[in-house]
A and B are shown apart, each in its own frame.
Chain A
């Protein structure tokens, strides 16, 4: 699980152009500057590419925080 969080940190820093962001389970859109709907699309696309997974539209809009997202990635990777 830690490797997922490390990679998520990398992607978050890249997408939001901020070296300070660290992925934690509680982190949510409201906590990050510039995380609007458009940035969310960029973030989801970057995750799909970075982890080699695909989300349906329903899944992509359902994550409430990074913890749920990390669990979603873990589930897809073990499937």
Chain B
């Protein structure tokens, strides 16, 4: 029964009866169509329906339709089985995760040639990533004495080939062992058995992927979830070389899609909880503190405690928690303050909205208070009407369907994979605190009156340093994830960042900020490149939206202007390249006193200049510089 939760993608609402009609109606719509596509894709769709949706997307594309706000991504698809059935499923599932996916496919069986030849279809296809959809049948001689090393060398060569010859990262799959044991229980420890060998290969692969900027698709875990005997279908392999039972193809495709979304920095970050019958059993306003069910030892109560424990585990890995409940505020807070069995407490909740407004309005104000987009939100509510309302009013918010039995809430929520991530750093762990502090800052701002005295009361300290090995991972993460406050949206990998550290012609800055409420971590990244003899062009300027309206950008400019002067530069050249996400900074350079010198009619970019003799006023914060002396020496 709970395998069906996975196979049927049961966190999604059922497909509308007139799915085909709705899908066809898309081609008649004018203007950007991405939001409508995403709404339709966010249902339990069969493989036929997904295939049809992919066909519609292909048709819309060739008719020149505007797919925004979907983010484009080109995926090379290689493997050892039949992938033709899978490709359209990937395209349609990616839409569900905000991605306009194009799949580049290759000839069956030409794996190594595809990787090694720069002219191959994949390598010349400008892929962002290549999915290595290999299963154990791609590893001949598995169980032979050298098979583990052979397999690792084979996959390593593919990854290296696509990186060197096509500039693409790899999405590397782990291997689901076959359903048949060779020796029996001792397979686990015998490299001479497929299971033993694949176990070791999987462990080594995962380790090597984690140390690179490739991404891991843990197919072994997916197969474990649904059961190996279900996953592998000998009939379907024989019939059409399908690498796994087609019944799981929509589930697999959703996993690939969520991983791509995570690579593009589109994972969700906030879990908004309803209270009555979601976080506890019963209605606090009717049943009172003694009546609600959250006790250990009570089968119903424990189901709700599991929801709370899961929320806390998510919070510990950086997911921000918020509450949206139709209740009187003091009544809703009662259990958080006074109920001895509650795991969640008020200080775990970044924004607490208990009132009688509709939930869509509340969710919007939660997003505002956290300075995060609606597409970062997940809303958990047992009430089907509330779910439906939020889906219709705010289609960007993810709203999982929930089964009737609260015992399955956690499994359903987690099966949806909303918080998929490709890396985990210390900063991620602290993120829930960051946002919580930020919400407090918003509250303080409301009471502090004028902005200057508010900023002064924050006791901000700003730290400037050039790129270095220590900050590299976080710098690369910010570069790959920042969409809103990002002037040029140029993406660099960790390897690129390492090169920038060494490049003597390039000026780099990583910026950290602390304040009265805590450490904000790294919040801004700058890359300048030479522009003629006497100028720097600001190649990259991005900033975390957490620190908007704090005059941080002004202080960064001050730092930049001083550095430019030290390097003998007369001008700073800034470029704004518009995307569908960065309208926030369209006036960035104007607001900082730059003069516009050019506009490009084709992509709408604007070019700006500032004389480095300009005196940029100070903002209320203390400045620290990590490597000022080293840099001054380098400049001489």
Residues of A near any B CB (own CB < 8 A): 14-15, 17, 19, 38, 41-42, 44-46, 49, 54-57, 60-61
Contacts and interface: CB of A to CB of B under 8 A. Distances in A.
A46 B48 contact: yes
Given A17-B20, A19-B20, A49-B247, A42 B239 contact: no
A57 B247 CA distance: 17
A49 B250 CA distance: 14
A42 B51 contact: yes
Contacts of B46: 14, 46
Given A38-B240, A41-B242, A61-B239, 4 more contacts: A14-B46, A17-B48, A49-B247, A60-B239
Interface string B208-235: 0000000000000000000000000001
Most B-side CB within 10 Å, residue of A38, A41, A60: A41
B189 to A, nearest CB: 35
Contacts of B239: 41, 44, 57, 60-61
A17 B88 CA distance: 14
Given A41-B85, A45-B236, A57-B238, A17 B55 contact: yes
B52 interface: yes
B48 A14 contact: yes
A38 B84 contact: yes
B246 interface: yes
Contacts of B47: 42, 45-46
Contact of B235 (A17, A38, A49, A54): A54
A38 B46 CA distance: 17
Contacts of A55: 235
Contacts of B240: 38, 41
A38 B85 contact: yes
Contact of B246 (A17, A45, A61): A45
Contacts of A41: 82, 85, 239-240, 242
Contacts of A44: 239
Contacts of B236: 45
A4 to B, nearest CB: 19
Given A14-B46, A14-B48, A15-B48, A42 B85 contact: yes
A57 B55 contact: no
A58 to B, nearest CB: 9
Contacts of A45: 47, 236, 246-247
Interface string B71-88: 000000000001011000
Chain B interface category by residue count: 10 to 19
A17 B48 CA distance: 8
Nearest to B242: A41
Nearest to B239: A57
Summarize B's interface: helix, strand, loop or mixed. helix
20 contacts: A14-B46, A14-B49, A15-B48, A17-B55, A19-B20, A38-B82, A38-B84, A41-B82, A41-B85, A42-B47, A42-B48, A42-B85, A45-B236, A45-B246, A45-B247, A46-B48, A56-B235, A57-B239, A60-B239, A61-B239
Nearest to B56: A17
Nearest to B245: A45
B52 A17 contact: yes
Contacts of B49: 14
A13 to B, nearest CB: 8
Nearest to A15: B48
A57 B85 contact: no
Which of A15, A42, A45, A57 counts the most chain B CB atoms within 10 A?
A: A45
CB-based closest 5 A-B pairs: A41-B240, A57-B239, A57-B238, A14-B48, A45-B246
Interface in B231-262: 235-236, 238-240, 242, 246-247
Nearest to A16: B48
A29 B522 CA distance: 61
Nearest to A55: B235
A56 B84 CA distance: 21
A56 to B, nearest CB: 7
Nearest to B246: A45
B6 to A, nearest CB: 16
A38 B83 CA distance: 11
Nearest to B24: A17
Question: Which of A14, A60, A61 has the most B CB atoms < 10 Å from its CB?
Answer: A14
Contacts of A19: 20
Interface in B184-226: none
A41 B247 CA distance: 13
B374 to A, nearest CB: 33
A57 B235 contact: yes
Contacts of B82: 38, 41
A55 B46 CA distance: 20
Contacts of A49: 247
Nearest to B236: A45
A60 B47 CA distance: 19
A57 B242 CA distance: 12
B628 to A, nearest CB: 64
A62 B378 CA distance: 49
A42 B84 CA distance: 11
Interface in B491-548: none
Interface string B10-27: 000000000010000000
A7 to B, nearest CB: 14
B421 to A, nearest CB: 33
Contacts of B52: 17
Contacts of A15: 48
A46 B48 CA distance: 8
Nearest to A61: B239
A25 B85 CA distance: 27
Most buried by B among A42, A46, A54: A42
Contacts of B20: 17, 19
A46 B247 CA distance: 9
B14 to A, nearest CB: 15
Interface string B41-73: 000001111011001000000000000000000
Nearest to B241: A41
A54 B245 CA distance: 12
